[in-house]
Amino acid sequence: MTVSSAPGKVYLFGEHAVVYGEPAVPCAIERRAQVTAEPRDDDRVRVEATDLTLDGFTVEWGESADDHPDVDVPSSLVEAAMGYIEEAVAQARDALDDPEAGFDITVESDIPLGGGLGSSAAVVVAAIDAAVRARGAKIDPRALADRAYQAEHTVQEGQASRADTFCSAMGGAVRVEGEDTRAIDAPELPLVVGYDGGAGDTGKLVAGVRDLRERYEFAADTVESIGDITRRGEQLLADAEPGEAPDAALVEELGDLMDINHGLLSALGVSSRSLDAMVWAARNAGASGAKLTGAGGGGCIVALDAGGDTERALGFSNDCEQSFRSALATEGVRAEE
């Protein structure tokens, strides 16, 4: 039996625009998905999943496609989760050169499903790593990131960037621009996450932006402007002392850029009433800036707050189900057992 874990992430800048070749800067956070893999004697795969949201509930499904999991989340989300795990197993089999390798897989996660914190990428990364190691082989993090991207790309019908999977495999702050993926230095950022208890449909949201971009020049310009914001933001990160608390002026400027990034994402139609409400609750509480993170439509926002009131203010907001501070996760995929 092997156990691997991989972190979720927040986007400081650049989600959606990264799908069109603009740069993005996601940062891994200390919320992890953990996958256990046990080789089987036959060629079947059995998957058991628990705690796929912050609420904690159980999702279980068996070998038959007719088995309906008994869960309190939309079945489309569970189907999507199954799709990611199936593709992760396909990648592990390919890496092992054994198309008939069977596994018992258990997924535990404290990253809300579909909430914009990279739950699917973390599960895919951890699942490929655990399954490959369960059969006595090894895969290095860059090769793993590539395989995890292929899995997401297939499930999301070609509408995926390398950002989520690369960040989860490598940990820390990363920069992704098309095929160019690299780790970058970052200061100790005062990140606060607010979660509305909901989820967005990444495929639909990405398709919506694509449609707007094709119909309106403003939307194509907006995507490019998000790229400009990201380039400016990464320059600020590069100027700061890695791993140290950044000075107040830097946090303010990063926050301003996050606010603008959120406005541009709203213009592209991927925010929601509750995401906007949480962004404003954070700003009113003194956060230097706040934006939605991930695909949008519902789920999480990320704020920068060195002061400390944002987490509590979000907790009091009707639109926020849970808020927490989160440190940058310096470790990406990790063998737990």
Footprint (CB under 6 A) of ligand MEV, residues 128-157: none
Amino acid at residue number 29: I
Residue 153's Cβ-count burial label (10 Å; 0-12, 13-18, 19+) is middle
For ligand MEV, which residue of 49, 128, 163, 304 counts as binding (CB under 6 A)? 163
Q: Which member of 164, 196, 305, 319 is catalytic?
A: 164
Binding to ligand MEV by residue 8, rule CB under 6 A? Answer: no
State in angstroms the smallest separation of the CB of 278 from ligand MEV.
17
Residues from 100 through 129 that contact ligand MEV (CB under 6 A): 118
Q: What is the 3-state secondary structure (H, E, C) of 209-233?
A: HHHHHHHCHHHHHHHHHHHHHHHHH
In terms of Cα–Cα distance, which of 90, 114, 110 is closest to 100?
Answer: 90
Active-site residue, 164 included:
yes
Distances (CA, A) of 323 to 72, 118, 175, 301, 303: 21, 17, 26, 9, 10
Closest to ligand MEV by CB, 19 vs 144, is 19
User: In angstroms, what is the C-alpha Rg of the chain?
Assistant: 19
The smaller minimum CB distance to ligand MEV, of residues 117 and 192, is found at 117
Contact residue for ligand MEV among 160, 199, 254, 265 (CB under 6 A): 160
- Indicate whether 164 belongs to the interface with ligand MEV (CB under 6 A): yes
Q: Do 113 and 73 contact (CB within 8 A), yes or no? A: yes
Residues 6+ apart with CB under 8 A from 249: none
Which positions from 284 through 313 interact with ligand MEV, judged by CB under 6 A? Answer: 294-295
- Cβ-based nearer residue to ligand MEV, 260 or 300: 300
What gap in Å lies between CA 123 and CA 55, rounded to an integer?
18
Single out the residue of 156, 157, 152, 155 nearest to residue 169, CA to CA.
152
212 lies in the binding site for ligand MEV (CB under 6 A): no
Q: How far is the CB of 144 from ligand MEV (least distance, A)?
A: 17
Q: Does 206 bind ligand MEV (CB under 6 A)?
A: yes
Rounded Cα distance, 123 and 202, in Å: 16
Report the site for ligand MEV in 18-57 (rule: CB under 6 A): 18-19
In the numeric block, which tokens belong to residue 236?
Answer: 């600020």
C-beta closer to ligand MEV: residue 15 or 305: 15
Give the active site residues: 164
Residues near ligand MEV (CB under 6 A): 15-16, 18-19, 118, 160-161, 163-164, 202, 206, 294-295
